[in-house]
Homo-oligomer: A and B are copies of this chain.
Amino acid sequence: MILSLDPHSEVPIYQQIRDRVVEAVAAGELVAGSPLPSTRQLATDLGINFHTVNKSYDLLRSEGLLVLNRRSGALVQRDPGTGPPAAGFTEQWRTRLRTLLAEAVAQGVDGPAALDACAATLASFALPAPLAPPAQSAQPAQSAPAQGETR
């Protein structure tokens, strides 16, 4: 679990951590049962306050992606494509998607180009194969990770 933060980003650190975990789950790099580092461990690794990591994990738990307990630490709970999205999630997600796409269109990205970007990103999630089969992944990870979140 490599996790790089941008300390100068406008995106809160706890949000950046959360975003990276979500992306790792979507990409299949983290699957149900995968352990995450302890809050204190990750905090020292990243050179940040452990309360911040705590907040990230708590957020992920509230989104149903993590289970936390004293014994086993933090474990990923969901796999990509598993189960139905929680009630109400889809609507608010679509709203945010609409805003994000509108932004691109308004700035001059044309429709097909925007759709291509969506397809490419989704494709990068589709065939992850963490470390089980040989994995014939065509174009796995986008480069340039930074300051995510749609706000």
A: residues with CB less than 8 A from B are 7-13, 15, 19, 22-23, 25-27, 61-65, 67-72, 75, 78, 80-123, 125-126, 139-142, 144-151
Of listed A80, A97, A148, residue having the most chain B CB within 10 A? A148
Beyond A64-B151, A78-B107, A111-B125, 17 additional pairs, beta carbon < 8 A:
A7-B72, A10-B69, A12-B70, A19-B102, A26-B106, A27-B102, A63-B107, A78-B108, A86-B87, A86-B107, A86-B108, A88-B148, A89-B107, A94-B142, A97-B104, A113-B148, A114-B122
Complex contact B151–A122 (CB within 8 A):
no
21 contacts between A and B (CB under 8 A): A7-B71, A8-B69, A10-B67, A10-B69, A13-B71, A19-B99, A26-B101, A64-B150, A81-B108, A83-B108, A91-B144, A93-B107, A93-B109, A95-B146, A96-B151, A99-B149, A111-B122, A111-B123, A112-B141, A113-B147, A114-B122
Give, as a whole number of angstroms, the nearest-CB distance from A78 to chain B: 6
Chain B residue nearest to A123 (CB atoms) is: B111
Complex contacts, A122 vs chain B, CB 8 Å = 101, 105, 111, 114-115
